Amino acid sequence: MQPIRIKDRVVKIKDDEEEINRFVEEYKPFIASCTEKITGRYMRYGEDDELSIALIAFVEAIKSFDSAKGNFLSFAQNVIRRRIIDYYRREGRHSGVISLSEYCNEKDEEKDLSIHESFHRYSEDEISEYRRLELEELKEELKQWNISFFDLVDSSPKHNKTRKLCREAIRFLVSKPELVSLIRQKKYLPVMEIEKNLGIPRKNIERARKYIIAAVIIKTGDYQYIKDYVDWDG
């Protein structure tokens, strides 16, 4: 049985309160980790208001999520951060716990810069965390093709000529939605189509099969931070 992706699971359970509760229990460590990163201190369920806010925010994220919003865990972390910031603003507890200046200072407010806009000015640390979450989801997705990150290291093209051929194959596949759909549904690489249309020798395609599949999955999937980090076309 193939593992269900997190985003697919969330879409499936968003109207099922029992499944939502089960999902929340499963991801309590993740929720606590997000909260601790925001507040800068250790959190304990049943004692810290911030964790109660974070739990409610996580449920909100589940119910408002759709596949167009990309990676669910990144989206949920966003919602948790916003709700905790809102909580601190309401309570007047800005100082000593979390600095809101990086999100919305007085000068920014005078320029009508909303907290929503400033919220998206992620620090490098935050982007690294989102990328890590995406890598975890990518790892699970690639298991459907029996591909590991170690396989990608082994199958990555080592020579300029081979890299060029791989880039051509990747660009060709990504430009053909019907082939991308075939790859995802049938779980195989259409080697014959690549060979016929690009004239790339079959042996070259087969050697880089896992690398090409991973590139197509990333370029056509919900991996915005990995896409920004990996130069598949360079």
| pLDDT tens-digit map of 26-68 | 899 889 988 988 888 888 888 889 999 999 999 999 998 877 6
148 is a domain residue: yes
Boundary-marking domain end, from 61, 89, 121 = 121
134 is a domain residue: no
189 and 155 in a common domain? yes
Q: How far apart are CA 150 and CA 32, in angstroms?
A: 31
Q: How far apart are CA 217 and CA 102, in angstroms?
A: 34
| Structural domains in the chain (count) | 2
pTM value is: 0.53
| pLDDT tens-digit map of 192-217 | 999 999 999 999 999 999 999 999 99
List the end-to-end C-alpha distance of the chain, in Å, as a whole number. 36
1 is a domain residue: no
148 and 112 in a common domain? no
Mean pLDDT score of the chain: 79
Nearest CA-CA partner of 144 in 207, 179, 188: 188
Least confident of 105-114, 125-134, 167-176: 105-114
114 and 29 in a common domain? yes
Position 169 confidence tier, pLDDT thresholds 50, 70, 90? very high
133 is a domain residue: no
Tell me the one-letter amino acid at 219: K
224 and 151 in a common domain? yes
136 is a domain residue: no
State the CB neighbour count (10 A cutoff) for residue 7. 21
11 and 116 in a common domain? yes
Structural domain that includes position 30:
6-121
